């Protein structure tokens, strides 16, 4: 049995003080982040602007301590700021002049490298159901004004989720997101941003694509476009490729997937709706 009989003796763990210290620091840091996020959110307009341009991460604002404070690079912050400025006041382009645009473009080439790269990306298309009829009934000027207002509303949502507007396609948009979670959240938010009296529909797919400075190319783009065509006004559809890549996402749910034939896609694909949870509407 040994000197101390059948009873064991607790031996101090030399790592315990270090572990306790690390836990204390982590707890202090999380408390500090929560207080900082609360302070920023006291001014909703300022908080929205900071998240939109990437000074702070929107996920961090919503759940401080669980996400990085910031994920956007310095260049991305500048680019989002310029996009936001031009949407709000197009004359900003004339004020800045081409030299400023060219300078920023040169920095973009240096940071991202020449040529293109292949990455996994979530591609989303949106369009406005009933836009052709609206233009016929109200005229081109009213249709253009509606589109401009719509784009000004869409831009902040896309940027605050870390996405970018790749192209404007008439009354539709092509968007790209690095994170599938961000794409799902943006889809729900964009559908809710319907420009009265029209409805927005969206389709999103996840896959590998060739990314360039001003375009996204690949089969993922074709599938996302066809998924959008299969959706209805006020509805966002996603492929199971995107759904399966999304981790637990508060406020968002995916409905049961259905096998759907998409134009130009040989085999049927499993597609589901992306919706806001009832308590988060």
Q: How confident is the model at residue 94 (pLDDT cuts 50, 70, 90)?
A: very low
How would you class 178 by CB atoms within 10 Å of its CB: exposed for 0-12, middle for 13-18, buried for 19 or more? middle
Q: Distance between CA 7 and CA 236 in Å, rounded?
A: 64
The per-residue pLDDT for 89 is: 61
Residue 260: CB atoms within 10 A of its CB come to 16
Residues in the chain: 281
Q: Distance between CA 65 and CA 29 in Å, rounded?
A: 8
Greatest Cα-to-Cα distance within the chain, rounded to the nearest angstrom: 97
Q: Which residue has the higher pLDDT, 203 or 106?
A: 203
Q: Distance between CA 177 and CA 174 in Å, rounded?
A: 10
Write down the number of H helices and E strands in the chain.
10, 9
The per-residue pLDDT for 8 is: 47
Q: Distance between CA 186 and CA 198 in Å, rounded?
A: 19
170: left (phi over 0), alpha (psi -120 to 50) or beta: left
Beta strands per DSSP E along 5-108: none
The per-residue pLDDT for 209 is: 94
Mean pLDDT of 149-166: 93
The per-residue pLDDT for 1 is: 46
Among 29-33, 69-73, 213-217, the range with the most confident prediction by mean pLDDT is: 213-217
The overall average pLDDT reported for the chain is: 82
Q: Is the pLDDT of residue 134 over 70?
A: yes
The per-residue pLDDT for 45 is: 84
φ, ψ of residue 79 in degrees (nearest 5): -60, -45
Question: Rounded to two decimals, what is the model's pTM?
Answer: 0.69
Give the up-direction half-sphere exposure of residue 181: CA atoms within 13 A in the CB hemisphere: 9
Q: Is the pLDDT of residue 224 over 70?
A: yes
Q: How confident is the model at residue 214 (pLDDT cuts 50, 70, 90)?
A: confident
Q: Is the pLDDT of residue 102 over 90?
A: no
Q: Distance between CA 232 and CA 237 in Å, rounded?
A: 9
Nearest of 114, 89, 193 to residue 81 by alpha carbon: 89
Q: Distance between CA 8 and CA 6 in Å, rounded?
A: 7
Mean pLDDT of 271-279: 90
Kindly report whether the peptide bond that precedes residue 86 is cis, defined as omega within 30 degrees of 0. no
The per-residue pLDDT for 166 is: 93
Q: Is the pLDDT of residue 100 over 60?
A: no
Among 73-82, 108-117, 158-167, the range with the most confident prediction by mean pLDDT is: 158-167
Mean pLDDT of 131-137: 93
Q: How confident is the model at residue 88 (pLDDT cuts 50, 70, 90)?
A: low
Nearest of 274, 179, 181, 183 to residue 234 by alpha carbon: 274
| pLDDT more than 70, % of the chain | 79
The per-residue pLDDT for 72 is: 76
The per-residue pLDDT for 5 is: 47
Q: Where are the alpha helices (DSSP H) in 193-239?
A: 219-230
The per-residue pLDDT for 77 is: 73
């Amino acid at each position: 049995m040994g000197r101390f009989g059948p009873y064991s003796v607790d031996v101090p763990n030399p790592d315990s003080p270090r572990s306790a210290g690390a836990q204390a620091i982590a707890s202090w840091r999380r408390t500090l982040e929560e207080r900082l996020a609360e302070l920023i959110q006291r001014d909703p307009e300022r908080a929205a602007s900071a998240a939109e341009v990437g000074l702070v991460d929107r996920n961090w604002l919503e759940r401080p301590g669980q996400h990085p404070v910031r994920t956007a690079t310095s260049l991305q912050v500048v680019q989002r700021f310029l996009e936001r400025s031009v949407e709000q006041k197009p004359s900003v382009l004339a004020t800045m002049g081409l030299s400023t645009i060219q300078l920023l473009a040169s920095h973009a080439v240096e940071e991202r490298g020449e040529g293109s790269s292949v990455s996994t990306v979530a591609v989303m298309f949106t369009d406005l159901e009933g836009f052709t009829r609206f233009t016929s009934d109200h005229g081109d000027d009213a249709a253009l004004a509606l589109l401009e207002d719509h784009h000004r509303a869409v831009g902040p949502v896309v940027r605050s989720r870390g996405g970018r507007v790749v192209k404007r396609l008439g009354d539709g948009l092509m968007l790209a997101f690095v994170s599938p979670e961000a794409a799902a959240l943006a889809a729900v938010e964009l559908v809710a941003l319907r420009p009265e009296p029209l409805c927005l529909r969206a389709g999103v797919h996840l896959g590998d694509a060739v990314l360039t400075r001003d375009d996204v190319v690949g089969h993922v783009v074709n599938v996302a476009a066809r998924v959008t065509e299969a959706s209805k006004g006020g509805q966002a559809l996603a492929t199971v490729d995107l759904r399966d890549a999304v981790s637990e996402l508060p406020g968002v749910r995916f409905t049961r997937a259905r096998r759907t034939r998409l134009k130009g896609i040989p085999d049927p694909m499993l597609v589901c709706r992306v919706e806001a949870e009832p308590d988060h509407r």
